[in-house]
Amino acid sequence: MRISIIAMAALIAFFGLMTPGDVNAQPNPNVPRVLPLDSRIAEFSVLESRNAQFGIVPNPPGGGPPAFYVSNAKVPNDIRYEFQFVLDAPVDARNYPYLVFEMMGDTWEIMNDINEHYPRFRVNDTYVQFQGSHLFRKAIDEDLNGNDRQWITVSVPIAPFNVHANRNNFAPVMSNMSIFLLRFITNRPPVQGRLYFRNIRLQMEP
């Protein structure tokens, strides 16, 4: 299942994209310190889930800019979420040691249900996967602290030292990255509620 993100760029242009830090303070003017990805996403899909609902909400709970949303997205007979984002053009992700995104659940239970996180970057069928479980759970346990409808920021190193699978693919994939997945491993049977994602970016600092 897929959704075209033609409207996303227009929504972001209208609402504005929030990126922390001073993107103008950069040693190389050709490489911004923060590379926003939301406006570059041409396609968003939920993999392997037949019953998922997903799309873009212009006014997510709590306000702020547009966000991607998903519900009923677990893989059947499994405990995985796999959310795929396809860029409108490849980027050289080697310049950026961190993948950063904001995430929210409309219930505490749907967020706390997630125990592991493994972002994956792809070029065609070749991929490299990173380990983000500890940092994701830290954000859930310390920043969310039992609340619902509250945004948290997740920052995962996407450098060679943090590769979880297919280390040899790092250079060819990250130099010409066109697809990335936010992959999550959960604990229990399906939990009702929506998950939201926004302000997805690559950064030079966490």
- Burial of residue 79, with CB atoms counted within 10 A of its CB: 0-12 exposed, 13-18 middle, 19 or more buried: middle
How far apart are alpha carbons 117 and 111 in whole angstroms? 12
Q: Which candidate, 86, 104, 74, 77, places its Cα nearest to that of 183? A: 74
Q: State both tokens at 25.
A: 């303070």
Q: Which domain holds residue 102?
A: 2-203
Selection from 159, 85, 152 nearest residue 122 by Cα = 85
Domain count, the chain: 1
pLDDT at 22 over 50: no
Given a cut of 90, whether residue 185 has pLDDT beyond it is yes
Q: Which residue has the tokens 């929030």?
A: 18
pTM, full prediction: 0.85
Provide the residue type at 130 as one letter: F
Q: What is the CATH number of the domain that holds 161?
A: 2.60.120.430
Q: What is the mean pLDDT of residues 30-59?
A: 94
What's the pLDDT score for residue 76?
82
Contact assessment for residue 52 and residue 76, using Cβ atoms and an 8 Å cutoff = no
Residue type, 164: H
Q: How confident is the model at residue 25 (pLDDT cuts 50, 70, 90)?
A: very low
What is the DSSP secondary-structure string of 24-83? T--SSTTS-SEEE-GGGEEEEEE-S-SS-EEEEESS-TT-SS-EEEEES-PPTTS-EEEE
